[in-house]
Structure 1
Amino acid sequence: MPLSLARPVDSDLLIKKSRFLGRVEPCAGREAALERVAALRAEHPGAAHVCWALLAGGQSAANDDGEPGGTAGRPMLEVLRHQDLEGVLATVVRYFGGVKLGAGGLVRAYTDAVAQALLGAEKVPLVRLVTLRCTLPYALEGLARRELELAGAQLLEVRHGAQVEMRLALAEDAAAAFRARLSDAGQGRIGWFSPEDGPAL
């Protein structure tokens, strides 16, 4: 099972006068990663490089930010892959100290900055969420809310019209059982939307 991180963790390495500030943190996808990298650039205007690697399914990416090709982002990404991580962003901010490290030295420095941060990271199982939508009579709203709580589902939106319409999120592996249990309890009076019916209520 892929793992993610509970919270951000930092590392700080000094190698031949260059300072490498590493960080690993949970990250949903490329858009969030680019925002985080932009924030780091703003926080560290004097840094020579802000290199990063994202492991998030189809949105995985690596960026050397001006370091010689393949010496920063790709090695950082490999560290994340070896730890079976998913939904994780690794960043390393480099302040150049005036001594060139060479390609091998750079690969080691960027790898070590990420590996050091991961040593202190709490890894948690990655729970994939799915969104469900249903309609039900007002008389069943209390029952549905209790079932939601028992299943650890998150109520995203509720609309009160001719019937109650709910949109909720819960763990993918618990969705089928939850839906069956709620349908049984509602005795056929709960209607389910398919995901293709669109995200808006």
Structure 2
Amino acid sequence: MPYTLTGLATHQEDIKKSRFLALADAVQGPADAMRFFAAHSVADATHNCWAYRIGGEYRYNDDGEPGGTAGRPILQAIEGQRCDRVAVLVVRWFGGIKLGPGGLVRAYGGTAAQCLRLAAKSELIDEVSVDCHCPFADMAIVQSRLAGFQARIVDEAFDGEGVRWRLAVARGQEKSLAEAFLNLTRGQGKWHFAL
């Protein structure tokens, strides 16, 4: 069962005079991961190495460290902790002692793994995507019932008649929520499964 993080997690280690700071958080897509890295990278650090995994998509960056000694071990830490929809940044301030390829792999991978081990996690739920349109008059009541069906709003746009929502609904709850949605909107709402 995959897990994601419930908030920002950090962990710091000093290894042979180099300081390693790992920061990890949940992300919804690659653009979200890149924003996380941009927001948390430290300009005066020696290296800002990172990795993310979002479903079948993953990417990593060694940021000047020898190839395969930083980004890939961070990705392996994400996979080893059975995490998904997670981005991890490990910032290094060089302390004057070279660690060698094996030492770098252990330092980056170990710091990332410990950060994820200590992080608050929640189980990822298999979700289906639904598009719906809800009249303004029913918006508050419908929104208040979403959590009861393990549903969350992914995107929201307003028009002259109401709100268009893209919902992520726990698989198995979509039919019950569709029925409740139509009842709450007295048949005025529109509901269809997104492609």
Q: TM-score, normalised by structure 1?
A: 0.78
- Residue 146 of structure 2 corresponds to 151
1:56-94: CA deviation from partner (whole Å, max 9, x where unpaired): 124311111111111111111011112211111111101
1:119-158 aligned at under 5 Å gives the runs: 119-127=117-125, 128=127, 130-134=129-133, 141-142=137-138, 145-152=140-147, 153=151, 156-158=156-158
For structure 2, list consecutive stretches of 5 or more residues without a partner in the other structure.
none
Deviation per CA, 1:110-156, whole angstroms, max 9, x where unpaired? 011112212321111224463421366x8xx44x7535422325563
Other structure's SS at 2:108 match: helix
Q: Distance in 2 between matches of 1:145 and 1:40?
A: 36
Residue 33 of structure 2 corresponds to 33
Residue number in structure 2 paired with 1:179: 178
* Distance in structure 2 (CA, Å) of the matches to 1:80 and 1:72: 13
Task: Quote the Cα distance in structure 2 between the aligned partners of 1:47 and 1:94.
Answer: 6
Report 1:39-118 matches (<5 A): 39-41=39-41, 44-118=42-116
* CA displacement at 1:194 relative to structure 2: 5.5
| Greater share of residues in helix | 1
What is the alpha-carbon distance in structure 1 between the residues aligned to residue 99 and residue 190 of structure 2?
63
Within 2, Cα distance between the matches of 1:92 and 1:185?
47
Percent identity, aligned pairs only, is 33
Counterpart AA for 1:130: S
With over 3 angstroms needed to count, the CA separation of the structure-2 counterparts of 1:190 and 1:100, relative to structure 1, is closer
RMSD of equivalent CA atoms: 2.7
- What residue identity is the alignment partner of 2:9? V
Q: Which runs of 5+ in 1 are unaligned?
A: 197-201
CA separation of 1:74/1:165 partners in 2, compared to 1, >3 Å: closer, same or farther? closer
**Structure 2 residue identity aligned to 1:24:** A
Paired residues, number: 188
Task: Report the counterpart of residue 3 of structure 1 in structure 2.
Answer: 3
Q: Is the 8 A contact 2:152 2:169 kept in 1?
A: no
Q: What TM-score do the two structures reach when normalised by structure 2?
A: 0.81
- Paired residue type of 2:119: A
Give the C-alpha shift of residue 184 in structure 1.
5.8
